[in-house]
Amino acid sequence: MSGAGAPCATAASAPERLPLAALLALAMAGFVTILTEALPAGLLLPMSAGLGVSEALVGQLVTVYALGSLAAAIPLTAATQSLRRRPLLLAAIVGFAATNTATALTDRYAVMLAARFLAGVSAGLLWSLAAGYAARMVPPHLKGRAIAVAMIGTPLALSLGIPAGTLLGAAVGWRSAFATMSVLAAALVVWVLAKVPDFPGRASGRRQGLAAVFRLPGVRPVLLATLGFVLAHNLLYTYIAPLAARAGLVARLDALLFAFGTAAVAGIWIVGVLVDRRLRALTLASTALFALAALALGLRGDAAPVVWAAVALWGLVFGGVATLFQTASAHAAGEAADVAQSMIVTVWNLAIAGGGLLGGALLESRWGVAALPWAALPLLAIALATAWSARRHGFPGPRPGANP
């Protein structure tokens, strides 16, 4: 770890082994980020009663969080390119501690909305930093594996953290659940200071503007493939409850979500082992298998066994997709990885919003819930065709020098 006055870590001096303590600190940051984002959804009813507002208004606490991430990711990343990395990471984590504390203490809905927006700003900054930060800790042939470890917090939050947070809120109150998130963030600050190395920002003469990074070979295909895949995912995941109800599984929704999250953990493990050697093959296979799951939901979404199998397959491929797209982006952008990651964050949040809007429109149409899987298929076809065509840049084959 770099101390005050000590030389900072550099890519050239990166260890041949994964620095697990530092990477797991990034994973915990991702865990806190996802849990902070989704906790109001799991605590919808008690928060509605406690604040004296409708359930729909509590739902907007998730929406405004996504808006904060969407608004902040690109401009904040561009404005902070020259700043050292660890202070930025710490600022994002402190932001979670402060905003979750405000959420736990306030009785005013307007104050809570503002806190949630600022929490989303912290999330936009953190997600823009995380993959590039992990990649700078290791040699080039370990970048994908390092990013996979740093991303493990996301499926863990989805599969374990959100149910645990919901149970905690039910047992001791929703305010205590948010206060616990603040304590986790404070502990994470200590962890980062102890184990995560610092890195310099980019010198002013080496900084690249958004347009220049966007024009780099491979960046645009990665963004388009990300948009297609994640839009299809959110189109289905946002409305998984009516999809489950179609097969008579509404009473088993918690188990269905747990199956999705558990499969996602397995997926990120598989991707973590293979991503540095098989980025292209994994991306193509993940997209094709997700399309197969969507097709099964479209053809037999009224059959419970089919839904269980399709959701498990979908979770398996979704678990590793953030690692795949962020690794591809980091390789395509090189030293401008943080800027490219901010674009990934923006596209991801656009897909979250777009999936909710498109899915809601389809749900209210004459076709209803049965239309959702069929709408996901052309989006996945776009993602698959984009990844397939980006053979030289974006999603190349095995990289020279990767471990056999």
Whether the CB-CB separation of 347 and 353 falls below 8 Å is answered with no
Identical fold for domains 19-206 and 210-389, yes or no, is: yes
> DSSP label at 12?
G
CB 246 within 8 A of CB 298: no
CA distance 238 to 356: 6
Model pLDDT for residues 3-36, shown as the tens digit of each residue: 333 334 444 445 568 899 999 999 999 999 988 8
Contact 300, 306 (CB under 8 A): yes
3-state helix, strand, coil in the chain (%, to 5): 80, 0, 20
pLDDT in tens, 69-92: 888 888 888 888 888 999 999 999
Please classify residue 129 by burial: count the beta carbons closer than 10 Å to its beta carbon, then call 0-12 exposed, 13-18 middle and 19+ buried: buried
What local confidence, expressed as pLDDT, does residue 244 receive? 87
> For residue 15, what pLDDT is reported?
55
Domain boundaries, the chain: 19-206, 210-389
**Is residue 127 classed as helix, strand or coil in its secondary structure?**
helix
Start-to-end CA span in the chain (Å): 30
In order of 252, 297, 390, 400, the CA distances from 291 in angstroms are: 24, 10, 19, 30
User: Measured in whole angstroms, how far is the alpha carbon of residue 346 from the centre of its chain?
Assistant: 11
* Assigned token pair, 93: 């984590």
The answer to whether 279 and 396 have CB atoms below 8 angstroms apart is yes
CA distance 35 to 163: 10
Residue with tokens 């594996």: 145
Model pTM score: 0.77
Q: Which range (67-71, 194-198, 289-293) has the least confidence?
A: 67-71
Nearest to 373 by CA among 285, 309, 303, 299: 299
Q: CATH number of the domain at 210-389, please?
A: 1.20.1250.20
Q: What is 19-206's CATH topology?
A: Growth Hormone; Chain: A; (1.20.1250)
Pair 94, 189: CB distance under 8 Å: yes
| Angstrom distance (rounded) from CA 273 to CA 397 | 16
Poorest-pLDDT segment among 64-68, 250-254, 322-326, 375-379: 250-254
Residue 181 to residue 193: CA distance in whole angstroms: 19
* Burial of 17 per CB tally in 10 Å (0-12, 13-18, 19+): exposed
Q: What is the SS3 string spanning 93-113?
A: HHHHHHHHHHHHHCCCHHHHH
Phi, psi dihedrals of residue 84, rounded to the nearest 5°: -65, 150
Structure confidence at residue 7 (pLDDT): 36
- Measured over the CA atoms of residue 259, residue 267, residue 310 and residue 386, the dihedral's sign is positive
**For the segment 101-132, what is each residue's pLDDT rounded down to a tens digit?**
999 999 999 999 999 999 999 998 998 888 78
